A and B are shown apart, each in its own frame.
Chain A
Amino acid sequence: MSTSGMKTSAGGGFSPSRISIVGIGNVLLGDDGFGPLAIEMFRCLYECEARVEILDLGTPGLDLAPYLYDTDLVVIADAVHPPQGEEPGTLFVYCEDDLGSSQAQLRLTSHDPGVQESLAQLRLAGHAPSEVIVVGVVPESCGLGKGVSLSVLNTCVVAVDTIARLLMERSVDCRARRDPVPRDLWWLSGSA
């Protein structure tokens, strides 16, 4: 973490007609940090057109709504708990209908009320995203500690390519970088 001078920008998430790649989870709680890790790896490995924004939203609960307001496409990377105990590290891709359906009985981690309730409110208010996709991984351990387990880390690479494929399938300009940009995984650095 450097404290060098910062350029002031308008901040993430507020340009018109946009596509958001959102990481959800707490980086300080083991595999719960999958979302922020996946989107940071995506940022380093892929280059997208300007209307694509990459947002680490942490564990926003209901505060998720303002970030999804009037978006076109949202891809959410998050830890998920599917109904039948799947192996840690298993990757799932869900569309919005899966989130509320009784068939999936999908439980995201402790912030799941935020995802579903925020989307439902935006839908009713007429400002919901056109399409929502969740790229989820089954966590091994969400205990206090920094960094994800090996099974989740391995899946992260697949998840990143999956996000890219989902974008390309929707004709979003997204290509692998020739030279990856350096990663900023500040929560894995330093002592303690």
Chain B
Amino acid sequence: MARISIDPITRIEGHLRIDVEVDGGKVQKAWASCTMWRGLETILRGRDAREGWVFAQRFCGVCTTVHAIASVRAVEDALQLEIPANAQYIRNLILIAHALHDHIVHFYQLSALDWVDITAIPKADPARAASIAEGYSTWPGNSRRELEAVQNKVKGLIGSGQLGIFAHGYWGHPAMHLSPELNLILFAHYLQALEFQRKSCQVVGILGGKTPHIQNLAVGGVMNAINLNSLATFNMDRLGILQSLLQDLIPFVQQAFFVDTCLLAASYPEWFHYGRGVANYLAVPDLPTDAKATHFDLPGGLIMDGNLASVQSIINWRDEAFRAAVAEDVTHAWYRGEGAQTPWKGETDPNYTDFHEDGKYTWVKAPRYNGSPIQVGPLANVLVGNASGHPLTRKWTDTAFKTIASVHGLKVAPDDLQSTMGRYLARGIRSAMLSDLALQHWQLLADNILKGDDTTYYPPQFPSHECEGVGMHEAPRGALSHWVIVDKGAFSNYQAVVPTTWNASPRDEKGVPGPYETSLIANPVVDPAKPLEVLRTVHSFDPCMACACHTLDVSGREIAQVKVL
């Protein structure tokens, strides 16, 4: 029996410690511990509900827009305030651009190097690599010349003996077995990805006024002034720039990123058998197509016990079952309190005890849905879409399965997606869907404006009594909900139940572990000194601890720094 403690897990946002017990080359038990305190919500208590979003978008430096929009949606829900159609479309385009950016960064910068061995790249034949890549994709960045240039850069890097940020990778690990050519193709896209991250940020900047901290939101809509005849406002020029940026992004997403997730899946088929974990999935509806938010382009729903034939739909943001089902338990988290609490009554009263595997061991609370742990994220999104018969989800899921089968004949079925590789593939499927939806929502906005509708904002009216609301968003890492109580225009309570809290959840009062912990059971570990396989499963969730907790150690001591791999 070996005990491995990985602290911190690198190439994630924030601080996460994973402990596993390994026997016979497999993980037997696992604990996920967030080593930073979360407490930013307390800053919102007593604050004007109209400006909560400005503070909420500082919860996390990565998911800024995500928290901003969940915050205004929560207040609008409390007030039962409708917003104009233009506001929905502008918000949707911001959310899509941000999500594409986030998924690209995750696949390439944060997780590809768990699968791609940089030190094998010099052995690749660039001409052969180009012909392999061109067999699956029309991406112009796959030319022999381009791949040769990338190979020369890598040769130079390795020849210099200074791998720099790549110095700590598990290079040559027996679990790394891509061909040199595939290593080269994926690493070329790793470098090309930077240009498309930039284009996604430009989309957010045009719509949001600034990025990464958008300026255009308001409770009641958005503050973009629309006037087709004015140079200073949102006009045809801006619409045209937006359209061309989106058109630039789509080929990279569909022909490079999406195809890469399929090639990775075809090359590592064993990873469809590991990492299943908690097989309860939640996705919330998002990308409303009308002002009243009655129709959505991303369906919401709940799947329990891995039963993909049965989905309980979440039709809209006012879903009563959702509101009644969510509660947070602090039995194993460093907080005071007993039993599970609805977020509306949630408190954040720290009680640090050090790491006790049978007691309290993390700053993350344990959210439960009718008492059950839940997995959220692109996989939940894709499984719910497929189970609901959602055409766009089915289209891209089928395309992924066909692409994978075309490599070595591997047949993948929806049930196989409940795995570590399934989470990577689902992120590629979701990104391809979002890139289609980007142009559709651009068209909705353009059509509505050309029709003569320039309304973007309805002023909120705050009642003199207390009211409660939930703001939902299907964020890049999964279902996000902000729970607010508003009293005479100010917040009297504010709790954010973020995707990483669902996934990084500790055990609850019944001792039932959360998704990270469960997914690691039976995960292979060939060499306990180099637990690459543990990183693959943990990274498959795209951990972002920055908002699940926060950057402060309660004892006031500086926490160990993240070392860059």
A12 touches B47 (CB 8 A): no
A186 touches B101 (CB 8 A): no
Interface residues of B in 220-258 (CB under 8 A from A): 223-225, 232-234, 238, 241
* A65 on the B face (CB < 8 A): yes
A144 touches B40 (CB 8 A): yes
User: How far does the alpha carbon of A46 sit from the alpha carbon of B289 in the complex, in Å?
Assistant: 45
The smallest beta-carbon distance between A36 and chain B, in angstroms, is 9
* B153 on the A face (CB < 8 A): yes
Residues of B within 8 A of A20 (CB): none
B197 touches A6 (CB 8 A): no
A111 touches B165 (CB 8 A): no
A69 touches B195 (CB 8 A): yes
User: How far does the alpha carbon of A122 sit from the alpha carbon of B195 in the complex, in Å?
Assistant: 10
User: How far does the alpha carbon of A7 sit from the alpha carbon of B206 in the complex, in Å?
Assistant: 10
User: How far does the alpha carbon of A32 sit from the alpha carbon of B58 in the complex, in Å?
Assistant: 12
Choice from B46, B50, B241 contacting A3 with Cβ under 8 Å: B50
Q: Which residue of chain A is the closest to B192 with respect to CB atoms?
A: A125
Interface residues of B in 423-438 (CB under 8 A from A): none
The smallest beta-carbon distance between A3 and chain B, in angstroms, is 5
* B291 on the A face (CB < 8 A): no
Q: Which residue of chain B is the closest to A14 with respect to CB atoms?
A: B202
Choice from B13, B194, B209, B238 contacting A122 with Cβ under 8 Å: B194
User: How far does the alpha carbon of A12 sit from the alpha carbon of B157 in the complex, in Å?
Assistant: 33
* B556 on the A face (CB < 8 A): yes
* B208 on the A face (CB < 8 A): yes
Interface residues of B in 458-494 (CB under 8 A from A): 490
Interface residues of A in 8-24 (CB under 8 A from B): 8-14
User: How far does the alpha carbon of A121 sit from the alpha carbon of B50 in the complex, in Å?
Assistant: 39
Residues of A within 8 A of B212 (CB): 57-58, 60, 63
The answer to whether residues A65 and B552 also contact, given A13-B201, A110-B562, A187-B55 and a CB cut-off of 8 A, is no
Residues of B within 8 A of A57 (CB): 61, 212
Residue interface mask B99-121, A partner, CB < 8 A = 1: 00100010001100000000000
A58 touches B205 (CB 8 A): no
User: How far does the alpha carbon of A127 sit from the alpha carbon of B232 in the complex, in Å?
Assistant: 31
Residues of A within 8 A of B205 (CB): 10-14
Residue interface mask B525-565, A partner, CB < 8 A = 1: 00000000000000000000010001110001011011110
B51 touches A27 (CB 8 A): no
B58 touches A26 (CB 8 A): yes
User: How far does the alpha carbon of A59 sit from the alpha carbon of B550 in the complex, in Å?
Assistant: 12
Residue interface mask A163-183, B partner, CB < 8 A = 1: 000000000000000000000
Interface residues of A in 39-92 (CB under 8 A from B): 56-63, 65-67, 69, 81
B209 touches A6 (CB 8 A): yes
A side interface size, CB within 8 A: 56
Residue interface mask B1-33, A partner, CB < 8 A = 1: 000000000100111000000000000000000
* B48 on the A face (CB < 8 A): yes
B234 touches A29 (CB 8 A): no
Residues of A within 8 A of B238 (CB): 8
User: How far does the alpha carbon of A116 sit from the alpha carbon of B208 in the complex, in Å?
Assistant: 27
Residues of B within 8 A of A186 (CB): 54
B210 touches A144 (CB 8 A): no
* A150 on the B face (CB < 8 A): no
User: How far does the alpha carbon of A90 sit from the alpha carbon of B199 in the complex, in Å?
Assistant: 38
The smallest beta-carbon distance between B192 and chain A, in angstroms, is 8
Residue interface mask B186-218, A partner, CB < 8 A = 1: 000001101101101110111111111101101
Residues of B within 8 A of A62 (CB): 13, 105, 109-110
The answer to whether residues A26 and B551 also contact, given A11-B202, A11-B209, A127-B194 and a CB cut-off of 8 A, is yes
A interface vs B, CB < 8 Å?
1, 3-14, 26-29, 32, 56-63, 65-67, 69, 81, 100, 107, 109-113, 116-117, 120-122, 124-125, 127, 141-144, 146, 186-187, 190-192
26 A-B interface contacts by CB (under 8 A): A3-B51, A5-B225, A6-B215, A6-B224, A10-B241, A11-B208, A13-B205, A14-B201, A28-B40, A28-B43, A58-B58, A58-B213, A61-B62, A61-B546, A62-B13, A62-B105, A63-B105, A66-B200, A67-B201, A81-B558, A109-B551, A112-B561, A113-B563, A117-B564, A127-B194, A144-B552
Q: Give the top 6 A-B pairs by smallest Cβ distance, nearest first.
A: A11-B205, A59-B61, A66-B198, A125-B191, A6-B223, A120-B165
B interface vs A, CB < 8 Å?
10, 13-15, 39-40, 42-48, 50-51, 54-55, 58, 60-62, 64, 101, 105, 109-110, 153, 157, 164-165, 191-192, 194-195, 197-198, 200-202, 204-213, 215-216, 218, 223-225, 232-234, 238, 241, 490, 546, 550-552, 556, 558-559, 561-564
| A6-B209, A14-B198 given; 18 more Cβ-contact pairs under 8 Å | A3-B51, A6-B224, A7-B225, A10-B205, A26-B61, A59-B62, A62-B13, A63-B197, A110-B14, A110-B551, A110-B562, A113-B564, A124-B153, A125-B192, A127-B194, A144-B40, A144-B552, A191-B46
